[in-house]
Structure 1
């Protein structure tokens, strides 16, 4: 996970939080989070990168639409990241300031 960009990590989270999302569903989720437009030229190369790293699998719904699922390795990486983050921010509450 250390070799991923922040955007690629967010792509993993967006995929993990949905049931076999297609590219546009991932794009919509990221646009909601970033509150800005995510261009195809940014999204799809990053999707390909996480697929190439074995964190995500890509399947085909039809000739034009792919879907994505997080792999077991991808889930392990997200869990390890969450544990690492919790070391630093796990004890905070909304009233901490």
Structure 2
């Protein structure tokens, strides 16, 4: 988890909170949270990185749309990161 960027961690938390979201639904959720535009050029390479590191899986909804799901390794990474982050608070 510590090798991921803050944006990638946000993506992972977002994916964990949604049921097999598309890239577009992930984008909309994060934009609603931050009031900042997220470009496709930023979103999809970062989603691909999460897939490559094994914390997210990617599947096909239809020919043009993919879904993303947190993997078991992703759940474990989030739990460990959440525990570590909590231990840093006084």
Scaled by the length of structure 1, the TM-score of the pair is 0.90
Runs of 4+ in 1 over 2 A off after TM superposition: none
User: After the TM superposition, which residues 26-65 of structure 1 pair with which residues of structure 2 at under 5 Å, given as runs?
Assistant: 26-65=26-65
Q: 1:39-66 deviations in whole A, cap 9, x for unaligned?
A: 0000000000000000000000000000
- The alignment partner of 1:4 has SS state of coil
Q: How many residues matched?
A: 90
Distance (whole Å) between structure 2 residues aligned to residue 81 and residue 54 of structure 1: 16
CA RMSD between the two structures: 0.9
How far apart, in 1, do the equivalents of 2:76 and 2:32 lie?
Answer: 25
**Could you tell me which residue of structure 2 aligns to residue 94 of structure 1?**
none
Flag structure 1 segments of 5+ consecutive residues without an equivalent. Answer: 92-97
Pair member with larger Rg? 1
